[in-house]
A and B are shown apart, each in its own frame.
Chain A
Amino acid sequence: MKRYVFRRLLLMIPTFFGISLLTFLVARLAPGDPFLLDLETGELDPEAIARARAAQGLDAPLPLQFARWMFHLVRFDFGRSLIDQRLVTEKIFEAMPRTALVAGLAMILGFGLAIPLGVWLSTRRDRWGRAVEALLLTAWSVPSFWIAVMALMIFAGPRFLDLFPVQGLENGGFVLPVICLAFPTIVVATRQVRAAMEEALAQDYVKAARARGIPERRVIWKHALRNSLLPVVTMFGLHLPHLVGGSVIIERIFGVPGMGLLAFDSIGSRDYPTIMGVATVMAIATMTSMLLVDLAYGFIDPRIRLERAK
């Protein structure tokens, strides 16, 4: 067990390095300059720009800049934002809880709904089951940003149900972003659970359990579900990047100043330290969640030996 965790942690290093390199290159090779001219007031002295670039170390050759970045990174020093001169870590700590709240609740809502719904669908092959399935499929076909825009107009707009604030997370404002973000998760996870359950229910041990007279409810929720959870747990880990990606759109529509919006804004203004800080933190978060999922495998299904899982 310890050896496995150690090995996984070791393998995270090249992955992490790869992500950093990718972000660094993408961010740095972009045309555009963080030291923009101010459109409204006019001039900016080119010498001042050169000085500002030098002060940020942006005039050094790229490999040197990357080496510096990695050196600072191991000490969790992301530097300062080029835009407002604040510490990137400070900006991230401000944004992170908001995204964690929305994405976390979306995850809980998504899987919390998907598991019972998927199990229910696998047992109900009548018209209601199919109706729900068709509903999910149709809803999945609508662009998620459009669902969010419509939800905003209907549930927060002044014309229909004025239930939630238009922007921000306060006063129940988190409800709509969470639901909209959870939406694709619900659909995808439900279908996954249903498929896994259908497979499990056709297995011999389920038949055996039924033959032994174990109540159907117990067969479904204990025997079959336990074995169907494995692919769902895998998905749980792989799903985090999707949620984070979705949060860019959701946070923009609902005006949530979280990680997605921070990434969007910093890419727009070529704020390199912030872009790289956000990407790094996101990557660490996902890698950790994937590791935890791998470890969780062992608890859900003791048959799987972690050493062999690799």
Chain B
Amino acid sequence: MRERIFNRMGWCLFLALVLVSGCSCSCRQNPAVDAGVAGPDADWLAGRLPLETGTPKKGGTLTVRLPLEPAGLTRLHDRFNEGTMARITVGPIYETLDALSEKVVESDDHLTLTITLKKGIVFHDGTPLTSNDVKATLGVILDERFPTSTLRTSLEHFDQLQFPDERTVIFRWKKPYFLANHTLLTAIPIMPAAAIAGPVEAFDTLPIHRAPIGTGPFKFEKWEPGVSLTYVRADDRAFVDKIVFRIVKDDTAAMTALEKGEFDLFIRLTPAAWRSIESQRWAFTGYRRITFAENAYAWIGFNQRKPLFASKNVRRALAMLYPSETIEKTVDLGLEPRTSCPWMEGTTSCDPSVKPIAFDPAGAKTLLASDGWKDSDGDGVLDREGVKFSFAFLIAAQSVKMNKLVPIYLDTLRQASIDARIETVDVSAYMSRVRAHDFDAMALSWAAADSLQDNFANFHSSQADAGNDFLGYANPDVDALLERIRTELDPTARAALERQAHKLIFEDQAYLFMGRRPSLDLAKRSVHGLVPSLRGYDLAKVWLAP
């Protein structure tokens, strides 16, 4: 008797388990056709925003998903410099000099910049903005005792500062650098002098890091760690009364909350989520899908310090074995177009005649053979002078994309008789090993919040020991070009140099360039005034239709 009930109950539970797991997956499928509602329109599918009509209205609360917990909210400190944080603070709360100044005059030699600050600008704490605040902010950045090296690097040719009066600031540079004025005007948030004054030891724990005070259209209200971040409207420059950044780290949970309508704006969906909502009615009836190009690309790097990858031909062959079509379809889901350029694709910095290397196993075999790599002992793995073509691909356990992409890539390598295996470590150990150059192959992506960018740190041979040239890439011609690019202030001439550098870097296969990551966002239909830009949306322009 007992066992029979046991079995019956057990089976009932199993059945329930099956139904429940099955349902929670399959019931989510909600094809529009069944519901008798038209599917998504062309604009929605293409992720285009329709032209704005209607007049902006004031009021309302905008809820935005934040995928991580900020470390700090000032951007000044090296540790608080995560890209997402810059986007949510510089703009809404802090303003940079380009927004704060009435007039900017650049001298003919580009070495002097005279800035006249706007009148009547007041910080959220009530103190008026003067040139003294600019002085204090730059003082902290330029002082080497402070942990502010991230911003300091772009100001390295700084010569002197003058403050003739309360509203005028004059910068002088020692040497020309094409990014210097641009960084100064657009990347440095100006903070109240009183709030950042103090000794070096106290800098880490300044209250402003956790309760920012700026001049922007939004005022910081509160930060509940792990839960949310709240801004309120400071004045008439903005429309929405309140912005709540809700911290939801887990992607699956965030998607569930999104479907429940808990976010007005969701930035950076995963490609899988972007595709899956195409068949879900709530998504195309209630939301707009927005996609636009960002200056971000992913790449695979082979450690060129190792003899195995020192040859350009080997790297080229490895690129020929990259199954781009399969990956485009399976991993990128048709969303990340292949690139060949370390600058922003589509700008004049990239040479349009340089095309990504196509998948070509036969060509790769010939190329490897020309470099002496043959399977001479018949064990199924290429060898040369007794050394086998065998290596480990380092991936970070947390990287969803690489955990999908690398197995596919390595499968094609194995078919070409290359013995490659995966080594998974957590992201912290991953970055340490990459910085210590302790890897054979790895993958990363670079992203910039601007189309103007300096690739010196990534490809110049001087950066191989401590900089971002993790792979030990060195080419004297590229070095020379990168140095010239830095001092070339004429955009057209610089673009010509960048195109040359692009071509050389690609020919060397310094990186195995993968795809460009676009922005994949979702906004409620009631959210208006979204203007795509490389720095994210200008939240001051956003308004909510009732």
Contact = CB atoms under 8 A, between A and B. Distances in A.
* A/B: CB atoms within 8 Å of each other: yes
Given A135-B13, A153-B256, A42 B468 contact: yes
A203 B430 CA distance: 61
Interface stretch (A113-121, A231-239, A263-271): A263-271
A42 B152 CA distance: 13
Contact of B426 (A33, A166, A268): A268
Q: Which of A32, A39, A85, A154 has the most CB of B within 10 A?
A: A85
A80 B17 CA distance: 46
B363 interface: no
Interface stretch (B76-84, B343-351, B488-496, B533-541): B76-84
B147 interface: yes
Interface stretch (B4-12, B110-118, B131-139): B4-12
Given A41-B86, A42-B446, A153-B24, A85 B79 contact: yes
B256 A166 contact: yes
A284 B411 CA distance: 50
Interface string B55-70: 0000000000000011
Interface stretch (B257-265, B305-313, B383-391, B478-486): B257-265
B258 to A, nearest CB: 9
Contacts of A91: 225
B107 interface: no
Interface string A77-96: 00010111110000100110
B273 to A, nearest CB: 15
Contact of B20 (A154, A257, A270): A154
Nearest to B14: A138
Contact of A36 (B6, B84, B428, B457): B428
Contact of A41 (B6, B69, B81, B260): B81
A292 interface: no
B165 to A, nearest CB: 34
Contacts of A45: 149-150, 152-153
B432 A32 contact: yes
Interface residues of A, number: 64
A158 B20 CA distance: 15
Interface stretch (B93-101, B245-253, B334-342, B354-362): B245-253
Contacts of B235: none
Contacts of B20: 150, 154
Name the prevailing secondary structure of the A interface residues. Answer: loop
B259 A158 contact: yes
B9 A261 contact: no
Interface string B258-286: 01111000000000000000000010000
A104 interface: no
B204 interface: yes
Interface stretch (A126-134, A192-200, A210-218): A126-134
B256 A257 contact: no
A85 B446 CA distance: 27
Given A80-B204, A134-B6, A167-B257, A255 B150 contact: no
B414 interface: no
A296 B411 CA distance: 61
Contacts of A261: 226
Given A85-B72, A158-B256, A38 B225 contact: no
Contact of B24 (A36, A159, A269): A159
A51 interface: yes
Contacts of B260: 157-158, 162, 166
Contacts of B21: 146, 150
Contacts of A30: 428-429
B467 A43 contact: yes
A149 B251 CA distance: 13
A52 B84 CA distance: 23
A47 B147 CA distance: 10
A14 interface: no
Given A30-B429, A37-B435, A44-B150, A257 B83 contact: no
A130 B205 CA distance: 60
Interface in A248-265: 252-255, 257, 261, 265
Nearest to B397: A268
Contacts of B259: 157-158
B250 A84 contact: no
A295 interface: no
B487 to A, nearest CB: 19
Nearest to A34: B428
Interface in A121-163: 127, 130-131, 134-135, 137-139, 142, 146, 149-150, 152-154, 156-160, 162
Nearest to A261: B226
A86 B147 CA distance: 16
Contacts of A135: 9, 13
A158 B24 contact: no
A135 to B, nearest CB: 6
A242 B456 CA distance: 51
A130 B14 CA distance: 17
Counting from the closest, the 8 A-B pairs by CB-CB distance are A257-B226, A40-B83, A32-B428, A45-B149, A134-B9, A32-B429, A153-B24, A48-B149
